[in-house]
Amino acid sequence: MKCINFDDKFAAFTAQWVKEHGSEYRNYDAMEADMPRIYMMFLNTPAKWLDGVTPGAYFSQYEDAKDLVDWMVEYCRREIPVPDMLLEQIQAVGKPCEKRLLALLKDEDEGITEEARMTAIGLLRDMESTLPKMLYITWQLNREDHDDLADNALDSLREMGAVVVQPMLQELPRANRAGQEALLDVLVNYPGNQQVFDLAVRLFKENPMRRALFASYLGKLGDDRALPVLMEAAEDEKCRYMDFIELRSAIESLGGEAPKREFFEDAEYDALRSMEGED
């Protein structure tokens, strides 16, 4: 299958259009505003380089899931922009492509680029697929702090809704520290589980430099048993102003009353006051 650079073809189409119709526009902004219409013309104009098929209809000729997904992988391998029309056709084919995309993500072949895997995750998310939920959860268990692929998968897990909660809870004890934090980021949206509450409290205590994040989690869980640890942190003389803001929010959301504090010696507080003064 040919990997045609549709971006280059559209650029050539646009250049020819401007050459023939540029004088019809008042200025560059007017021409820029007309670009969506020009793009639609490009999609619907039969092209010699496609043997007379329009760019918009080219990929709709193909319905084999393996061929379509492999085509996307090949575009990524060759570092040619993946055409939107190919991605749209993959989504249109539906279930067979979901299964093929999942197989791609499970494949450990080093020839499959990270871009192809990221594109596959995005496609499955756009298709609202829950097929990869267990794979995505597994990716979180031994992940690194900075892992773009796992982060992308985590975004998908977040969008899958309550269907991911039970499998996450089952796998949570096996997760490393970064994995626990990643899973917690999703699980705090489903309060009422003791395991999740205990983890949120523990991570809050263990990460004094990241209190704002874990305070927000405790606020989301809505369990007022967290008030003592939140209040202790808010009263800590070493508490930073930006952390205190989130601590106060969590405390108040749980029905408590945050202590009154002054932060005149805090550089972040001074910076914010200066910005407010400029307003």
Q: Tens-of-pLDDT digits for all 279 residues of the chain?
A: 799 999 999 999 999 998 898 888 888 899 899 999 999 999 999 999 999 999 999 999 999 999 999 999 999 999 999 999 999 999 999 999 999 999 999 998 888 999 999 999 999 999 999 999 999 999 999 999 999 999 999 999 999 999 999 999 999 999 999 999 999 999 999 999 999 999 999 999 999 999 999 999 999 999 999 999 999 999 998 888 889 999 999 999 999 999 987 776 666 665 666 555 544
If you search the block for the tokens 């998310």, which residue do you land on?
125
Give the predicted TM-score (pTM) of the model. Answer: 0.88
CA–CA distance, 179 with 140 (Å, rounded to integer): 5
The tokens for 140 are 């979180």
Return the domain boundaries, the chain. 132-187, 194-279
Query: Can you list the pairs that 259-262 forms with residues at least 24 positions away whose Cβ atoms lie under 8 Å?
Result: 259/231, 259/234, 259/235, 261/234
Contact criterion met (CB below 8 Å) for 143 and 176: yes
- Per-residue b or e along 5-21, where b marks 16 or more CB atoms closer than 10 Å to that residue's CB: ebeebbeebbeebeeee
pLDDT per residue as tens digits for the range 233-276: 999 988 888 899 999 999 999 999 999 877 766 666 656 665 55
pLDDT for res 110: 84
Nearest of 211, 152, 213, 146 to residue 185 by alpha carbon: 213
Q: Look at residue 278 in the predicted model and tell me its pLDDT.
A: 47
Buried b (16+ CB within 10 A) or exposed e, 217-238: bbbbbebeebbebbbebbeeee
CA distance 156 to 176: 20
